[in-house]
A and B are shown apart, each in its own frame.
Chain A
Amino acid sequence: MTLLMEQTAPWGLSRATTPLPEEDGLYASVQLDPTTQVTRFYDRDGAPVDMGNKVTITKSRGGGNDGSGGSPAVADDSNND
């Protein structure tokens, strides 16, 4: 074998899709309801967005520490931590 393994890309990654399309626009911000502990989603104008199960059927963001989104997206139906 003559390949330099330190510089060789792993075979499996050659099977990955091109990056999935961004789905920004579902919501602009998310806030925790202090009473119910349920989170509520809002669009750029501050109007509530009914998320239904949209995030879970496509892909979800990993979650931002301040809850404002913008964190890396992950392909869904996978464990993230």
Chain B
Amino acid sequence: MKPTPRTVLVVTSVEDVTANLVIEALNKRRAQVARVDPADIGAELMFGATIGDGRTEWAGRLRTPSRDIAVEEVGAVYYRRPTPYTARFAGLPEHHRAFAATEAQYGLGGLLNNLVGATYVNHPAALGRADRKPAQLQAAARLGLAIPPSLVTNDVEQARAFAAEHGTIIYKSFRGAPSTPGGGASAIWTQRVAVEELDDSLAVTAHLFQQEVPKTADARVTAIGTRVFASRITTPDGALDWRSGDWEKLVHEPIAVPEPIQDAVRAYLQHFGLAFGCFDFALNDAGGAERWTFIECNPNGQWAWLPDADAMADAFADVILEGWWQ
């Protein structure tokens, strides 16, 4: 059968190496791919779509220098890491920048996020919901996963009381540190907090504290559709947060994910309407069966460094094309 003319829209920046792996897997299947960074809006990205006059769904064209596609023929959207609109308009005066960015987000984004019949991996709205840690912890707990006792607060007295009750506590940010004024990146790694370090400046904003989970290793569970890939990760120095050190020195070993954990992971994706998620668990093998404690799930996490990356890229292609590509 002749392939359909339908297209996979890959929404990401040109610098996204991970998307390249999935695009290559899609190309192997002879799927038609259009890579679009919405922040290219302007001469490099022109679009027009209409509705009404008997049409109940948006129809029109989206053009990049190398693709000209019908928005009504998009079979799937692989949403990765597009450039923020504010970066696109950085050269404009603030008033113009704010207007242009918001209008692009609501207008072009509003169109691309509402393509009828398209499979979204993942839908940005689902990403938005799933990427809040309070939502993550509650969903995991309700699905029966073990989670660390956690406190969200801006009240230093509650933080002190939590520390007194739970012994060693850790702090983690909800989103990480923004770029510094000079444009550099800094990180807020998960770290232990001594009670005397807490002060009234907690009141300024929201903070997340958790009881430290004793662990012998971490597990990264990458769920793509119904497939589950998992690695046990150990660090040479037993770091609390494995992201904080040299990733080249991490030790990855295959690990079997217990059935109840797999079931919970799939139910978690379903709860948030996700097709994919990167789950972090703390493992503790103190006596008998290894205990898995849910730490977090990044619904748009990185996975290309993992040993199974090629198989994962194939799994992404399967999920993206499922049900509409032949």
Interface residues of A, Cβ cutoff 8 Å to B: 1, 3, 5, 8-20, 22, 30-32, 34-39, 51-65, 67, 69, 71-81
CB distance from A59 to the nearest CB of B (A): 6
Task: Spell out B's residues near A (CB within 8 Å).
Answer: 10, 12-18, 20, 23-24, 27, 33-35, 37, 39-40, 65-67, 81-84, 87-88, 124, 127, 131, 171, 173, 175-177, 179-180, 182-189, 191, 198-205, 207, 243, 247-248, 278, 298-305, 309
Asked whether A53 and B304 contact (CB < 8 A) given A32-B35, A39-B20, A79-B131, the answer is: yes
* Contact residues of B: prevailing secondary structure: loop
How far apart are B204's CB and chain A's nearest CB, in angstroms?
4
Say whether B65 contacts A64, CB under 8 Å: no
Tell me, in angstroms, the Cα distance from A61 to B305 when the chains sit together: 16
Q: What residues of B have a CB within 8 angstroms of the CB of A56 in the complex?
A: 17-18, 302-305
Interface of A is mostly: loop
A53-B131 contact in complex given A15-B188, A63-B37, A76-B302, C-beta closer than 8 Å: no
| Interchain CB contact under 8 A, B83 and A30 | no
> Known contacts A16-B187, A60-B15: does B84 contact A81 (CB below 8 Å)?
yes
Are A64 and B302 also in contact (CB < 8 A) when A3-B200, A73-B183 are? no
Contacts of A10 in B (CB 8 A): 201, 204-205
Give the residue name and chain of the B residue nearest to A79 (CB).
Answer: B300
CB <8 Å contact, A63 and B87: yes
